[in-house]
């Protein structure tokens, strides 16, 4: 809201320093956005919150100043002469859409002469309109007066050329589907039934509260004018203004709860100024259709609440004088409370807490202390937070950067790769970023997109992880938001698997990690061979795999990448956050290396199970070393697996003979379970 | 064999051995040199000794003396080399080749995202002030995002253009059916969820991603992070709010700061304020705050006559940008690893 310094002076003495006033207004609720000279005047830009439409006119701002500086407020009290015939005799207004327009009033002035508005008015209007529209020019005396009253009282008005209105009537109705309208900006608008229009006996003449029509606007030929002052429904105006992308000072104000008393006041003020500056005679009375349903209700302020909510004591007389200065009428009071009836321009004051805010902001928030002793309280760190920290520290230590990527992705990504759900993803009605309207069901595509971006920047090492939610639709209710860790690495399958194993070790997860075949749901993005489902115990932890060639192509990636996703809540439930001490054996360990020849089909996890079972308690470490193949010596479809075992006893030094015996047991078990044999035996 | 030839050979051998032992850079080369010159069976010293038999009798004392001198010379060279080798780490290069200024073998360490770093710092500070961290859904219903937060049906904050409402897509037509859910536009939703199932007193911080349809530019992004605090007890006032925010800002900035309130308007607080802190000679916007609106307390089943409370909310990106001098919010979501490595 731009206000003119000269204009404000009409209502309140401005003998204070302007910058001091601007600061004071900012500290009491009208945030100062800036000031600039316009001609010999100053335009002051004040931010008005949506609960204070009373400050969308100069009078409201002047009232705030008067209260803050304890000054008198001088307001016009319009009493236009009504020398014409009864206005209701020749014209009628009807409202057929009361849900869009509860109240509509009209006054008629006949025989006006259309000229330029007076220079002082042009100057003041220029101050408040030129800074936001550099092409702004005064129009004519009638149009300028309606704008002047708009900026004075905050009540929008419209002047119609009465001679162009057909049928001696105005009908306030809902627009027809697809109705066309030529507005005052000389553009055509297509209307919808949710929009309110003003029509004459023949057709629509204005989009209610938003913009008038070109045909009925006041021009140099105009002789008689009809002044509209009405109350339109805020939601309807907002929807119309948005739908037509048509914002005007009028629509901006109608979107807020305007002063019901302002409708008639502004109409009379406008007529008074027209009679004064344009001549003519005002028809007697007013055409009224509908009525305002708003009624001021008394509000009780219990004085005890001041200290309870604001944390300070304020003298009761000061409280009373603040409330009254703001326009409240004291209706009943006791030693413990003050009851007031708020003014019609403050429809936001309906509850005790609203009055407390008024007292606080006028008394001054700077008087509230910032050093009271807030009692201490214990705070708790969630397991998830603790686990998240271990994840971050481990993954950054293993060379991974943390990425943050958007929750909403292109639908093509969720179509291509949907590892966690078979349900179709949820969509946002409007896209978040260009083409992105699907709530992601996997972190992998987002991370591959980040790989692509880094590839285009020629960044050599791209090791990334992200901890974020994916959104898995449920049959009903809120979707399941699954906190997931996504990983992508330039390293191979076993590198990324090793990173995951290190993470599990850091989280002290003792539940064994195992792998299972990954299903068809991975076909879109992952290699057919190098991929697996990861399990912790019987629970699915996630997946790991190499991005397939078509997958790389889909994200324009030139080099190989491996990806994985892990379910966070499973890690949280299995992590050991308070590890317990175990007695350590003081006796030396003894190691044996084994090199066994096995059928290609024997997997490491099978061999591992056999070794662990055969070795028993003494086995401290089973370390895989390598696999190689010598088909000439061992036969087709065979492999040699090298591994190391380390034994230790808790109660005594293990002898070489004992170690050899365990090793022999392992070899026998491998022979029995897998038909494998120790190399060279 | 002529004596002179023998003496020449001895001299040559001594020089060659000194050179070989002197050049031996590691224990392996040294050992090889030792075998070559001092080897008990086939060493060159041994083989030259065997030639002594062919020296004329009268020359033998002279030859023997010269042999012993050369033997001593070679053994001394070997011992010196061995000594030197013991002083150096095994298998290391010779001193002459060692260059301490060569770069070390670095580890690649990753970086925590600057937004996460900021969040963790804020969480840690608020934890010290007795606020526990809570989490809640990002996809919300009408009740938690609006109704319980005292945002009425006709409030502009509910406008479809101000929110990401959700839909299911009809596969064939591409038309979308609204499902009555939206991506939360503020983390206050979590406060409602906590209050609904917890009796006062409450002291919590909720934080996470929030979503508003802004066109992405240097200062706007349709997804960002918010941190919100809530304190409810029998006797919480605006003075408590101001004091907690001052402690918060002082802890974050590392120096004593002062807090200023400017009146503002939020549906879920009354009174509502904008909080600023004074830092480096100017007032800096901190965030929105206020006393929890009685309608919010009632919506979660609290009695506003029994308890009061304050709430505040801060934009994480803005704090992070100011702290680290980031000028374009979009950098946070581009994830250029060179950008990430700066923090």
| DSSP, residue by residue, A375-413 | PP------HHHHHHHHHHHHHHHTTPEE----SEEEHHH
Chain A residues within an 8 Å CB radius of B178: 429
SS3 readout for A12-67: CCCCCCHHHHHHHHHHHCCEEEEEEEECCEEEEEEECCCCCHHHHCHHHHHHHHHH
List pLDDT tens digits, range A378-419: 999 999 999 999 999 999 999 999 999 999 999 999 988 989
Chain B residues within an 8 Å CB radius of A414: none
Topology adopted by domain A87-290: Phenylalanyl-tRNA Synthetase; Chain B, domain 3 (3.50.40)
Chain A residues within an 8 Å CB radius of B261: 365-366, 368
In the DSSP assignment, the letter for residue A342 is -
Neighbours of B281 (CB within 10 A): 5
Element (H, E) at B328: none
User: Do A464 and A401 meet the contact criterion of CB atoms below 8 Å apart?
Assistant: yes
List pLDDT tens digits, range B268-315: 999 999 999 999 899 999 999 999 999 999 999 999 999 999 999 999
Chain-chain contact of B338 with A459 (C-beta, under 8 angstroms): yes
Q: Is the predicted pLDDT of residue A679 greater than 70, yes or no?
A: yes
Neighbours of A655 (CB within 10 A): 11
Return d(Cα A442, Cα A486) in angstroms, integer. 8
Chain A residues within an 8 Å CB radius of B335: 401, 403-405, 450, 453-454, 464
User: Do A594 and A643 meet the contact criterion of CB atoms below 8 Å apart?
Assistant: yes
Cβ-nearest to B336 among A370, A381, A454: A454
Chain-chain contact of A242 with B161 (C-beta, under 8 angstroms): yes
**Ranked by mean pLDDT, which of A80-94, A487-501, B38-52 comes out on top?**
A487-501
Give the angle subtended at the CA of A135 by the CAs of A133 and A136, to the nearest 5°: 70
pLDDT of residue A576: 97
Chain A residues within an 8 Å CB radius of B108: 399, 461, 463
Mean pLDDT of A521-549: 94
List pLDDT tens digits, range A25-75: 999 999 999 999 999 999 999 999 999 999 999 999 999 999 999 999 999
List all residues 6 or more positions away from A26 whose beta carbon is below 8 Å from its beta carbon: A32, B262
Domain A2-68 has CATH 3.40.50.970: no
Cβ-nearest to A461 among B108, B201, B243: B108
Domains A299-365 and A383-574 share a fold: no
Return d(Cα A310, Cα A367) in angstroms, integer. 10
More confident: B342 or A524: B342
Give the angle subtended at the CA of A546 by the CAs of A674 and A554, to the nearest 5°: 150
β-bridge mates for residue B263, sequence order: B273
Chain-chain contact of A372 with B240 (C-beta, under 8 angstroms): yes
Q: A383-574 belongs to which homologous superfamily?
A: Bira Bifunctional Protein; Domain 2 (3.30.930.10)
Q: Which two tokens stand for residue B178?
A: 């609204």
Q: Helix, strand or coil for residue A183?
A: strand
Residue with tokens 């600061």: A23
Element (H, E) at A546: strand A539-547
B166 closest CA partner among A360, A428, A239, A287: A428
Q: Is the predicted pLDDT of residue A578 greater than 90, yes or no?
A: yes
pLDDT of residue A117: 96
Chain-chain contact of A396 with B111 (C-beta, under 8 angstroms): yes
Q: How far is B92 from chain A (nearest CA, A)?
A: 27
List pLDDT tens digits, range A602-617: 999 999 999 999 999 9
In the DSSP assignment, the letter for residue A607 is H
Chain-chain contact of B183 with A370 (C-beta, under 8 angstroms): no
Return d(Cα A644, Cα B270) in angstroms, integer. 70
Q: Which two tokens stand for residue A407?
A: 């929750």
For A471, which residue in chain B has the nearest alpha carbon? B139
Chain-chain contact of B169 with A27 (C-beta, under 8 angstroms): no
Q: Is the predicted pLDDT of residue A186 greater than 50, yes or no?
A: yes
What percentage of residues in chain A have a pLDDT greater than 90?
Answer: 92
Q: How far is B206 from chain A (nearest CA, A)?
A: 12
The alpha carbon dihedral of A121, A124, A128, A134 has a sign of positive
For A428, which residue in chain B has the nearest alpha carbon? B166
Chain B residues within an 8 Å CB radius of A430: 160-161, 164, 213
Which range is least confidently modeled, A100-114, A244-258, A314-328, B40-54? Answer: B40-54
Q: How far is B96 from chain A (nearest CA, A)?
A: 35
* Domain parsing of chain A, residue ranges: 2-68, 87-290, 299-365, 383-574, 590-678
SS3 readout for A89-123: HHCEEEECCCCCCCEEEEEEEECCCCCCCCHHHHH
Domain A299-365 has CATH 3.30.56.10: yes
User: Do B205 and B123 meet the contact criterion of CB atoms below 8 Å apart?
Assistant: yes
List pLDDT tens digits, range B161-208: 889 999 876 554 556 777 789 999 999 999 999 999 999 999 999 999
Return d(Cα A381, Cα A384) in angstroms, integer. 8
User: Do A93 and A106 meet the contact criterion of CB atoms below 8 Å apart?
Assistant: yes
Q: How far is B188 from chain A (nearest CA, A)?
A: 17
Chain-chain contact of B116 with A471 (C-beta, under 8 angstroms): no
ipTM given for this complex:
0.91
Cβ-nearest to B238 among A310, A389, A462: A310
**CATH for the A590-678 domain, from 3.30.70.380, 2.40.400.10, 3.40.30.10, 3.40.50.1820:** 3.30.70.380
Q: How far is A51 from chain B (nearest CA, A)?
A: 7
* Domain parsing of chain B, residue ranges: 3-97, 114-340
User: Do A170 and A278 meet the contact criterion of CB atoms below 8 Å apart?
Assistant: no
List pLDDT tens digits, range B109-135: 999 999 999 999 999 999 999 999 999
Burial of B61 (0-12, 13-18, 19+ CB in 10 A): exposed
Chain A residues within an 8 Å CB radius of B166: 426-429, 439
Alpha helix stretches (DSSP H) within B24-160? 27-38, 44-50, 60-87, 114-128, 142-145
* β-strand pairing of A539-547 with A526-536: antiparallel
pLDDT band at A22 (very low <50, low <70, confident <90, very high): very high
Return d(Cα A597, Cα A678) in angstroms, integer. 6
β-bridge mates for residue A190, sequence order: A180
Return d(Cα A415, Cα B171) in angstroms, integer. 12
Cβ-nearest to B333 among A29, A351, A404: A404
Chain-chain contact of A379 with B131 (C-beta, under 8 angstroms): yes
Return d(Cα B272, Cα B292) in angstroms, integer. 9
Chain-chain contact of B139 with A478 (C-beta, under 8 angstroms): yes
pLDDT of residue B172: 47
pLDDT of residue A143: 96
Chain B residues within an 8 Å CB radius of A461: 108, 337
For A28, which residue in chain B has the nearest alpha carbon? B263
Its CATH architecture, for the domain B114-340, is: 2-Layer Sandwich (3.30)
pLDDT of residue B95: 67
Mean pLDDT of A193-206: 94
Chain A residues within an 8 Å CB radius of B273: 365
Neighbours of A11 (CB within 10 A): 22
A450 closest CA partner among B220, B333, B328: B333
List all residues 6 or more positions away from A31 whose beta carbon is below 8 Å from its beta carbon: A46, A47, B262, B274
Q: Which two tokens stand for residue A635?
A: 């036969």
Chain B residues within an 8 Å CB radius of A235: 153-154
């Amino acid at each position: 809201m731009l206000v003119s310094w000269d204009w404000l002076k009409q209502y309140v003495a401005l003998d204070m320093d302007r910058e001091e006033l601007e600061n004071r207004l900012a500290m009491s609720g009208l945030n100062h956005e800036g000031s600039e000279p316009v001609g010999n005047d100053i335009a002051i830009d004040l931010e008005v919150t949506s609960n204070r439409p009373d400050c969308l006119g100069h009078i409201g701002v002047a009232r705030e100043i008067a209260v803050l500086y304890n000054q008198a407020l001088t307001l016009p009290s319009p009493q236009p002469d009504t020398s014409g015939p009864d206005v209701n005799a020749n014209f009628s207004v009807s409202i057929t859409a009361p849900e869009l327009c509860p109240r509509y009033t009209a006054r008629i002035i006949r025989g006006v002469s259309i000229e330029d508005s007076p220079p002082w008015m042009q100057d003041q209007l220029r101050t408040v309109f030129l800074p936001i529209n550099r092409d702004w020019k005064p129009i004519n005396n009638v149009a300028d007066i309606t704008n002047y009253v708009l900026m004075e009282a905050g009540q929008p008005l419209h002047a119609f050329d009465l001679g162009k209105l057909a049928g001696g009537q105005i009908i306030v109705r809902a627009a027809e589907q697809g109705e066309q309208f030529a507005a005052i900006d000389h553009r055509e608008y297509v209307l919808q039934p949710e929009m309110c229009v003003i029509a004459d006996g023949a057709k629509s003449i204005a989009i209610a509260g938003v913009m008038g029509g070109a045909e009925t606007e006041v021009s140099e030929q105009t002789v008689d004018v009809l002044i509209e002052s009405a109350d339109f429904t805020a939601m309807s105006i907002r929807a119309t203004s948005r739908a037509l992308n048509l914002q005007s000072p009028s629509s901006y104000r109608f979107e807020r709860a305007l002063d019901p008393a302002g409708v008639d006041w502004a109409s009379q003020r406008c007529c008074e100024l027209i009679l004064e500056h344009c001549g003519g005679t005002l028809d007697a009375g007013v055409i009224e259709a509908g009525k305002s349903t708003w009624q001021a209700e008394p509000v009780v302020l219990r004085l005890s609440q001041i200290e309870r909510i604001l944390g300070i004591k304020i003298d009761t007389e000061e409280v009373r004088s603040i409330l009254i200065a703001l326009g409240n009428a004291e209706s009943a009071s006791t030693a413990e409370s003050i009851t007031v009836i708020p003014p019609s321009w403050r429809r936001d004051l309906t509850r005790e807490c609203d009055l407390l805010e008024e007292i606080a902001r006028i008394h001054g928030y700077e008087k509230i202390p910032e050093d009271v002793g807030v009692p201490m309280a214990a705070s708790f760190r969630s397991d998830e937070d603790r686990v998240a920290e271990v994840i971050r520290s481990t993954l950054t230590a293993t060379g991974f950067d943390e990425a943050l990527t958007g929750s909403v992705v292109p639908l093509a990504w969720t179509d291509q790769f949907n590892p966690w759900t078979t349900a179709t993803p949820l969509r946002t009605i409007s896209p978040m970023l260009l083409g992105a309207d699907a709530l992601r069901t996997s972190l992998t595509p987002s991370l591959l997109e980040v790989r692509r971006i880094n590839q285009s920047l020629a960044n050599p090492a791209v090791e990334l992880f992200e901890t974020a939610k994916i959104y898995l639709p449920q049959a009903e209710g809120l979707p399941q938001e699954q906190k997931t860790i996504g990983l992508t690495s330039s390293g191979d399958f076993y590198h990324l698997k090793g990173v995951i194993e290190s993470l599990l070790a850091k989280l002290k997860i003792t539940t064994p990690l195992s792998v299972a075949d990954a299903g068809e749901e991975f076909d879109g993005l992952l290699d057919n061979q190098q991929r697996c489902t990861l399990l912790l115990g019987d629970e699915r932890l996630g997946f790991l795999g190499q991005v397939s060639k078509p997958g790389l192509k889909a994200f324009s990636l030139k080099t190989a990448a491996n990806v994985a996703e892990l379910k966070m809540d499973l890690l949280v439930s299995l992590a050991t956050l308070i590890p317990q001490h175990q007695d350590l054996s003081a006796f030396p360990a003894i190691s044996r290396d084994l090199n066994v020849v096995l059928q290609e089909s024997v997997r490491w996890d099978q061999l591992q199970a056999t070794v662990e079972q055969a070795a028993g308690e003494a086995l401290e470490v089973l370390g895989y070393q390598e696999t190689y193949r010598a088909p000439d010596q061992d036969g087709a479809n065979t492999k040699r697996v090298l591994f190391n075992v380390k034994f230790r006893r808790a109660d005594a030094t293990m002898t070489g003979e004992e170690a050899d015996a365990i090793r022999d047991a392992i070899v026998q078990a491998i022979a029995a379970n897998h038909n494998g044999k120790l190399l060279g035996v | 064999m002529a004596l002179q030839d023998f003496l020449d050979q001895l001299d040559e051998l001594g020089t060659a051995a000194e050179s070989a032992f002197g050049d031996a850079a590691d224990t392996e080369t040294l050992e090889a040199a030792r075998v070559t010159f001092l080897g008990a069976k086939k060493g060159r010293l041994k083989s030259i000794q065997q030639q002594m038999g062919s020296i004329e009798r009268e020359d033998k004392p002279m030859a023997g003396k010269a042999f012993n001198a050369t033997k001593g010379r070679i053994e001394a060279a070997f011992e010196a080399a061995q000594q030197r080798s013991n002083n150096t780490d095994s298998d290391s290069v010779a001193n002459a080749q060692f260059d301490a200024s060569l770069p070390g073998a670095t580890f690649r360490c990753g970086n925590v995202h600057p937004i996460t770093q900021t969040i963790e710092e804020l969480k840690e500070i608020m934890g010290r002030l007795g606020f526990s961290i809570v989490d809640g859904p990002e996809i919300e219903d009408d009740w938690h995002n609006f109704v319980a937060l005292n945002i009425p049906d006709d409030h502009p904050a509910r406008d479809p253009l101000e929110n990401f409402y959700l839909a299911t897509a009809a596969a064939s037509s591409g038309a979308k059916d609204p499902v009555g859910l939206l991506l939360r536009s503020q983390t206050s939703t979590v406060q409602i969820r906590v209050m609904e199932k917890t009796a006062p007193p409450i002291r919590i911080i909720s934080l996470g991603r929030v979503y508003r349809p802004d066109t992405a530019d240097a200062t706007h992004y349709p997804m960002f992070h918010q941190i919100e605090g809530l304190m409810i007890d029998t006797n919480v006032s605006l003075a408590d709010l101001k004091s907690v925010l001052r402690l918060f800002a002082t802890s974050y900035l590392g120096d004593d700061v002062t807090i200023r309130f400017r009146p503002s308007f939020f549906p879920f607080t009354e009174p509502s304020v904008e909080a600023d802190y004074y830092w480096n000679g100017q007032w800096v916007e901190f965030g929105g705050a206020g006393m929890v609106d009685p309608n919010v307390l009632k919506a979660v089943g609290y009695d506003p006559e029994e308890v009061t409370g304050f709430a505040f909310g801060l934009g994480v990106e803005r704090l992070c940008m100011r702290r680290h001098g980031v000028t374009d919010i979009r950098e946070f979501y581009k994830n250029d690893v060179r950008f990430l490595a700066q923090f």
